[in-house]
A = this chain, B = another copy of it.
Amino acid sequence: MIAIGQASQQSGVNIETIRYYERVGVVPKPGRSTAGRRLYSVDEIAKLRFVKRCRDLGFPIPIIQTFLSFTGQEDRSCGEVETLAEDHLAQIDAKIENLARLREALLNLSKNCDDGTAACPMLDSLMRDGFGEAVAQKS
């Protein structure tokens, strides 16, 4: 059983973030020492690392909680995990597409800036009507 600082080092999760995860119920409350300090087992460290990996993959916390509720149970979990992962993948694809469109729009705008005049054509374009409607989408 190790203290939170070591748990942080071994899992790669910030101390404050570990406490945050505990507070919102992502990971279960760990045991405590007689003085009230958190003590983590190897399993709990593994769970923290799992959460970190999922977060690095961009999964939102509620999805990770669903994942954690599946681990250990054998039946039906794989299909649901796959569905959640595919949904997430679709969202990532949508984000990439959106950013690519935005990139194009921005590139078109800023290349006008090269013409050497003092007033900025990019700001002009943004101020004038009729631009930008093609970009407006939520990421």
Contacts and interface: CB of A to CB of B under 8 A. Distances in A.
Given A85-B106, A102-B58, A78 B117 contact: yes
A66 B90 CA distance: 35
Given A56-B136, A77-B120, A132-B57, A103 B99 contact: no
This chain: copies in complex: 2
A103 B110 contact: no
The SS class assigned to the A binding surface is: helix
Contacts of A113: 78-79, 81-82, 85
Contacts of A106: 57, 85, 88-89, 92
A110 B82 contact: yes
Interface string A3-27: 0000000001000000000000000
Given A12-B136, A49-B129, 18 more contacts: A46-B127, A50-B127, A52-B136, A58-B102, A70-B120, A71-B123, A71-B127, A75-B118, A78-B117, A78-B120, A78-B121, A78-B122, A82-B114, A85-B110, A85-B113, A86-B110, A89-B107, A96-B103
